[in-house]
Amino acid sequence: MDKKSQINLEKLPRHIAIIMDGNGRWAKERGMARVFGHRNGVKAVREATESAAELGVEYLTLYAFSTENWNRPEMEVNALMALLVDTIKKEIKTLNDNSIRLQTIGDIFKLPEKSRKALLKAIEDTSHNTRMTLVLALNYSAKWDITEAARKLAIQVKRGSLQPEDVNEDVFSNALATAGMPDPELLIRTSGEARISNFLLWQIAYAELYFTPTLWPDFRKEHLYDAIINFQHRERRFGKTSEQLTGS
Ligand code: FPP
């Protein structure tokens, strides 16, 4: 039986998040500059997006640039930004052909103007699509997200439009960059590292974590299927006992 047909489409994660890692090592293994790895990572972005949409996943969030990534050599940061603009512009038609809506999380107002404009245009041009939402985390970090949410709520309290006793988990979730999206049920990280790296800390409270040694540029549809099959074999207890879930 091929991998795709082993997936139970009734039990798909509604939201998958991916920490795309290993581009630099993939390039190094080939004696090439890190940027070569990022360029080859775009094919994996396309494969992950296409396969998630084909299966019926509703949200796919990709960690494309963290707030910490600004500390990389200037040449690499510039190359990543250029690659982003170039890819977004090239892929708008494919996103529309497949009814995929683009969104971002993160402080995109600190990105170079050219990147921000290309992104805002792509978000606008794909806003009518309904099959899947592709969320790019750009200049994103979870601590930034949580701090911004706290600041937004503090401003509302100061203005008198929110009472401190009305702050609860739902109110807090709705102040985060991911407001309105279901929390990711499956978080994948490539390249063998077993870290979260400041990604969606609040939202992954109950996500299943899946770490694969595959380097991001090598990630293909089968790797996504493997992750989903693995997810579907796990018992998700949400604090309950196994017996409570099975009724035994
Ligand atoms: C991590 O690998 C990868 C990134 C920081 C960037 C991901 C970017 C892309 C795949 C290209 C464009 C993306 C889009 C959405 C168009 P790393 O450089 O940390 O690898 P290493 O750990 O081996 O050094």
Given phi > 0 = left and psi -120 to 50 = alpha, else beta, which region is 200? Answer: left
Residue 209: CB atoms within 10 Å: 12
182 secondary structure, DSSP code: P
- Strand 100-105 and strand 186-189: the pairing is unpaired
- Could you tell me the distance, in angstroms and rounded to a whole number, from the CA of residue 220 to the centre of ligand 1? 15
**Which H or E run contains 59?**
strand 59-66
Question: Bridge partners of 135?
Answer: 61, 103
Q: Is 95 in the pocket of ligand 1 (CB under 6 A)?
A: no
Place of tokens 């407001």: 179
Q: What is the pLDDT of residues 58-107, one digit of tens each?
A: 999 999 999 999 999 999 999 999 999 999 999 999 999 999 999 999 99
236 pLDDT tier (thresholds 50, 70, 90) = confident
pLDDT at 241 over 90: no
All domains in the chain, ordered by first residue: 11-140+183-234 (3.40.1180.10)
Residue, of 238 and 63, whose pLDDT is higher: 63
pLDDT at 240 over 90: no
Q: What is the pLDDT of residues 170-216, one digit of tens each?
A: 999 999 999 999 999 999 999 999 999 999 999 999 999 999 999 99
Identified catalytic residue from 2, 23, 40, 69: 69
DSSP 129-172: --SEEEEEEEEE-HHHHHHHHHHHHHHHHHHTSS-GGG--HHHH
- Strand 15-19 and strand 132-140: the pairing is unpaired
Identified catalytic residue from 2, 8, 21, 230: 21
What share of residues in the chain are helix, strand, coil (percent, to 5)?
A: 50, 15, 35
CA 179/CA 135 separation, integer angstroms: 12
Q: Is 84 in the pocket of ligand 1 (CB under 6 A)?
A: yes
Q: What is the pLDDT of residues 121-178, one digit of tens each?
A: 999 999 999 999 999 999 999 999 999 999 999 999 999 999 999 999 999 999 999 9
Instruction: Determine whether 71 is an active site residue.
Output: no
% of the chain beyond a pLDDT of 70: 100
- Strand 15-19 and strand 186-189: the pairing is parallel
**Which H or E run contains 61?**
strand 59-66
Please identify, by atom number, the ligand 1 atom nearest to the C-alpha of residue 63: 7
pLDDT at 47: 97
Please identify, by atom number, the ligand 1 atom nearest to the C-alpha of residue 91: 16
Residue 15: CB atoms within 10 Å: 24
Q: What type of residue is 67? A: T
* Helix, coil or strand: residue 90: helix
Q: Is 33 in the pocket of ligand 1 (CB under 6 A)?
A: no
pLDDT at 43: 97
108 pLDDT tier (thresholds 50, 70, 90) = very high
Please identify, by atom number, the ligand 1 atom nearest to the C-alpha of residue 87: 16
Angle between helices 221-232 and 34-55 (to 10 degrees): 60
pLDDT at 244: 77
CA 28/CA 22 separation, integer angstroms: 10
Question: Average pLDDT over the chain, rounded to whole?
Answer: 96
% of the chain beyond a pLDDT of 90: 93
pLDDT at 126: 98
Residue 91: CB atoms within 10 Å: 20
Residue 191: CB atoms within 10 Å: 21
Q: Is 38 in the pocket of ligand 1 (CB under 6 A)?
A: yes
Instruction: Determine whether 107 is an active site residue.
Output: no
